[in-house]
Amino acid sequence: MEPSTKPVARSSRDEVWTFFRQWLRRPLSTAAVSPSSRFLARRMVAALPAGAHRIIELGAGTGTFTRHLLDHGIAPADLLAVEFNPALHDYLVARFPGVQVVQADARHLRDSPAVRDFARSAPVQAVVSGLGLLAMPRSGQREVLSAALDLMDGDGVFVQFTYGPVAPVHPEVLRELNLHAVRRGFTLLNVPPASVYTFSRRRAVPVPTISA
């Protein structure tokens, strides 16, 4: 009998407590004090490009977005979760046996053979981020977005939430990477309330020729 690839059920209390313990231990590298709500997770999934079926998730935490991506229809083999925190990485491995979970720094995705192999084996349409981009310096934002964009084809989309009132990427970084930011949704039913943005490469606009 083949091993099950179904997610292992966890209580919401267990998920919150696991996340909160890691926040106490690593407050500077954990984006929030509790997992994102299911309402925010639904907004994140709704922001995926139509037909997207191969996804990389950054900062997967305790798997709130992971679970909703699977419920959305993403096959476990087409989802790769990246988590830097070793305890949360192990939690994800136990909770989602069918999903490849990689312990890596999102700023240095190119250095992970597992991440590179996943991106090379089939096109990646989107990167879903649970990282705290808003709290990162410009250099960190630039590194994360540049690394993520390199793993996707030209139409790839980076999906990110933020607790702030504007896009969580500095305008200078957007210009440097030639990115277009679009606000895709907002939910009050999250602590704190959050907006969802997508970032994609700007398309070159063809210049019409002028007849002599």
Model pLDDT for residues 142-177, shown as the tens digit of each residue: 999 999 999 998 899 999 999 989 999 999 999 999
pLDDT band at 208 (very low <50, low <70, confident <90, very high): low
Residue written as token pair 């192999």? 117
Q: Where are the domains of the chain?
A: 20-201
For the ranges 3-12, 15-24, 130-139, the lowest mean pLDDT is seen at 15-24
| List of residues 6+ apart from 153 with CB closer than 8 A | 123, 124, 125
Mean pLDDT of 62-66: 94
Q: Count CA atoms closer than 13 A to 132's CA, side-chain side.
A: 15
What is the residue-averaged pLDDT of the chain?
Answer: 86
Residue written as token pair 């099950």? 4
Q: State which fold the 20-201 domain adopts.
A: Rossmann fold (3.40.50)
Instruction: Evaluate if residue 11 carries a pLDDT over 80.
Output: no
Dist. CA 192–CA 121, nearest whole Å:
38
User: Where is pLDDT greater, at 114 or 3?
Assistant: 114
**Sheet containing 126-129: order of strands:** 100-102, 79-82, 55-58, 126-129, 157-162, 194-201, 179-187
Q: What is the pLDDT of residues 86-130, one digit of tens each?
A: 999 999 999 999 999 999 999 999 999 999 999 999 999 999 999
pTM: 0.83
Dist. CA 156–CA 148, nearest whole Å:
9
